[in-house]
Amino acid sequence: MAQQSVITKNRNVPLDKIRNVGIIAHIDSGKTTTTERFLFYTGRTYKIGDIDEGNTQMDWMPQERERGITIVSAATTTFWKGTRINIIDTPGHVDFTAEVERSLRVLDGGVVIFDAEEGVQSQSETVWRQADKYKVPRICFINKMDKLGADFEATVGEIKDRLGANPAVMTYPIGKEQEFKGIVDLLEMKAKYWDKDPQGIEFTETDQIPEEIKGKVVEARAKLVEKIAETDDKLLDKYLNGQEISVTDLKSALRKAVIAYKLIPVYCGTSLRNKAVQPVLDAVVDYLPSPLDLKEIKGIDPKTNAEVSRKLAPEEKFAALAFKIQLDPHVGKLTYSRIYSGVLESGSYVYNINRNKQERVSRVLLMHANNREEIDKAYAGEIVALVGPKDTKTGDTLADQNAPIILEQITFPEPVISLAIEPKTKADQEKLSYTLQRLAEEDPTFKVKVNHETGQTIMSGMGELHLEILVDRMKREMGMDVNVGKPQVAYKETVTKPALEVEAKYIKQTGGHGQYGHAVINLEPLGRGEGFKFVNKIKGGTIPSEFIPSVEKGVIEAMEKGVLLGYPMTDMQVTLVDGSYHDVDSSDIAFKITGSMALQDAAKQAGLTLIEPIMKLEVTVPEDFMGVVIGDISSKRGKILGTEKRARAVVIKGTVPLAEMSGYATILRSLTEGRGIFYMEPSHYEEVPQNLVKAMLQK
């Protein structure tokens, strides 16, 4: 355990020697393999973990090792050249997009990995946009340079064109595919070869650049110097006057440009073959920001709603963001938190600003994937797991009660697919709801509701794989066997035209007090994705203000149940325009029932229709199969948006309703003799054709 003590011993490093970085990319680009190499070269692990052998450090869940994919983001800490690097390895599969979203929210920098043959793929675009949203400075690593069809320059071109980035090429490959031997460091103008040591620890460095690429290397360096000089006035003067700029000046200007999102350094190599990984670690230290570079974080003062900022320093008042909840079989609930300011001691109390609750932190843990190391204090800039907080949820801010601040929350996409589940035995019913509640606490994109009419429990998620993994975890981790229905698409209902001045009255005479509620509403459609708005336009107190929330509650309840086919309603505005009340008989419940009746009546007059989730689809197939695959997508009500050639394959891009995509993996395999692969992610909602709505109504 000597190595672990190094982490604990050297914890209190200066702020400028801390890097919080995430490894993000499309599925199968080599994120986990690269992270494993980082841990090996920094001396954090004794042997290299291999996904194919199922012995990686970061993919520690049994489901991850069996499937060879990352499901949950894993955090670890390591050291390189005196700098402490906190690394989060995130999943690439779109079903686990929440893991990427919440990791990016708390990171200071990102390493984005691309497959040299596939270039910029769909999920690469998605994670790139997520990183843009949280303004995360990043560096790129073009991996798999040894793969057949690897094309460094085309991938750099795609980073520029498809992602709108400004790439600064830092290393140039020597050879490609099986001939890939090493790289030329363009700033230092040195060739580095990884052809002697199979583990890649040792490499040779020389000033001799191979003749066949010399011209390209000189050109690439000139471009790089020009790009860096453009970001700094002093260097630009030197550059325009033809003066030589020192490597030190170039590096410090590049660091500023990366932190200001002006430039994105690009490296290349192959993690699996252990070549050219160390320069990426150097880049993390040289160019990605420390908490000191980012200076402060902004938030909202809950008392005044004014914007406040907090310096990212240990001497400031304490503030942290809980970005992930994990249920650990040994220690119970772990709350992963990024500490932005101040110091947190184990055994102390913190205040959850979002829930107005004091929480006790009984233990503070440093995580290395699923291994834990107890520490007595955590400082600003660290990512730690807390044991003790009971009510803290993903996205909550923990802070000093006397200096409250609410940090920006994390937003998650809505689920698009659902399953009905029931316990195998009646006795397990209670255990089922407890199990589901625990899983929902961990995963904000997993929703559960009970259909009281059928008694079924419906679980919803981001995709079939997401739900499959959750059912598998219920069985393994919680010993819960369930019967599972077929995946169902998350349809929604909406209206297509306004219904104005729709009146509803609820009058009930019973012995004693009666019930009286009367409301007039306007119902109007909103644009796709705008959700629901309730507007109160009552004048002159025709309905007393205390009953208005009850009308809204009734409207929302009726919307959740749906009017056409029982799917929840969305994209509409309800305006309460008039009504009346009775001094004695009016009550909250009467107005709630009135609101519900008014919505149902109005919806029937407002051109009810169904909308369905549409998926963005990318299918990569050998050219010979392009025609059949396009024909099949069209037969599924799909729209082809275009095709592009990539190496020896064709990428077909389109959109297609999720309802038509059940079992698509098997269909694609049979159409392409097992050579086609596809990628799908939620795009938007669209109206279901009327003939299909009619067919569904007749069922």
Higher-confidence residue of 502 and 7: namely 502
Task: Say if CB 5 and CB 71 are below 8 A apart.
Answer: no
Q: Is 661 a residue whose pLDDT tops 80?
A: yes
What pLDDT shows up at residue 69? 57
3-state secondary structure of 12: coil
What pLDDT shows up at residue 3? 39
Residue 30 to residue 497: CA distance in whole angstroms:
49
Average pLDDT over residues 327-347: 85
Average pLDDT, the chain: 85
Task: Say if CB 397 and CB 318 are below 8 A apart.
Answer: no
Task: Say if CB 660 and CB 612 are below 8 A apart.
Answer: no
What pLDDT shows up at residue 47? 55
- pLDDT by residue (tens digit) across 109-123? 999 999 998 888 877
What pLDDT shows up at residue 56? 53
Q: What is the 3-state secondary structure (H, E, C) of 60-105?
A: CCHHHHHHCCCCCCEEEEEEECCEEEEEEECCCCHHHHHHHHHHHH
Average pLDDT over residues 533-541: 90
Q: Which domains does the chain have, with CATH numbers?
A: 16-290 (3.40.50.300), 298-407 (2.40.30.10), 422-438+447-484 (3.30.70.870), 493-606 (3.30.230.10), 610-698 (3.30.70.240)
- pLDDT by residue (tens digit) across 608-646? 999 999 998 888 888 889 999 999 999 999 999 999 887
**What does the DSSP 8-state code read for residue 569?**
B
Let me know how long the chain is: 699
What pLDDT shows up at residue 7? 46
Q: Which of 451, 488, 443, 490 is nearest to 469 (CA)?
A: 443
- Under the banding of pLDDT at 50, 70 and 90, the label for residue 4 is very low
The sign of the torsion formed by the CA atoms of 278, 224, 19, 367 equals negative
Strand partners, 21: 87, 109
Task: Say if CB 90 and CB 70 are below 8 A apart.
Answer: yes
DSSP assignments along 141-170, one per residue: EEE-TTSTT--HHHHHHHHHHHH---EEE-
Q: Which of 251, 299, 254, 20 is nearest to 136 (CA)?
A: 20
Task: Say if CB 192 and CB 172 are below 8 A apart.
Answer: no
Q: What percent of the chain has pLDDT over 90?
A: 36
**How many CA atoms are closer than 13 Å to the CA of 3, on its beta-carbon side?**
11
Average pLDDT over residues 8-16: 66
Q: Which of 6, 8, 4, 7 is nearest to 375 (CA)?
A: 8
What pLDDT shows up at residue 289? 93
Question: Strands, E, within 301-440: which ranges?
Answer: 307-311, 319-328, 332-341, 343-345, 349-352, 357-360, 363-368, 371-375, 377-379, 383-387, 397-399, 406-407, 417-423
What pLDDT shows up at residue 191? 93
**What does the DSSP 8-state code read for residue 231?**
T
